[in-house]
Amino acid sequence: MNRRCLYCRQVFQPNRYHPQQRVCSQPACQSQRRSDYHRQKIAFDPVYQQVCLDSPRKWRKTHPDYWKKYRQDHPRQVERNRRKQRLRNQKRRLSNLANNTLAPSQMPGVESLISPISCKQHPFGVAPAAGL
């Protein structure tokens, strides 16, 4: 019985030991399947997530100089990573900013509920409209 691969949409023959197989055996599709599984598992399984965090930590402990040496031997990679990280930080900042400033305007009627002074701008200890 033939089936269509979830990723490449090509028709394939499921392995006879895995009749439920939904992804063909091409390396690209298998790698995609594994990374999707990994991402989902990390999101929903706290034990698995902890193991995935601890594993590189342990490795770094047993190989303390690896990354130091790598950075010394690959200055171009270091510069490239620095540049990319700067972009990632910038992107995250912008998206945080967008989330904080665009949200009210995207919900009609909400503006009137928000006081012109944000709560962060109130002097510490002075609650607005405390009524005492």
Residues that bind Zn ion (CB under 5 A): 5, 7-8, 24, 26, 29
Task: Report strand pairing: 3-4 vs 11-12.
Answer: antiparallel
Nearer to Zn ion (CB atom), residue 8 or residue 42: 8
Work out how close the CB of 6 gets to Zn ion at its nearest, in angstroms, rounded to a whole number. Answer: 7
Nearer to Zn ion (CB atom), residue 11 or residue 103: 11
From 39, 20, 21, select the one nearest 30 (Cα to Cα). 21
Work out how close the CB of 2 gets to Zn ion at its nearest, in angstroms, rounded to a whole number. Answer: 13
The residues near 26 (Cβ < 8 Å, ≥ 6 apart) are: 5, 8, 10
Nearer to Zn ion (CB atom), residue 7 or residue 48: 7
Work out how close the CB of 25 gets to Zn ion at its nearest, in angstroms, rounded to a whole number. Answer: 8
CB 23 within 8 A of CB 30: yes
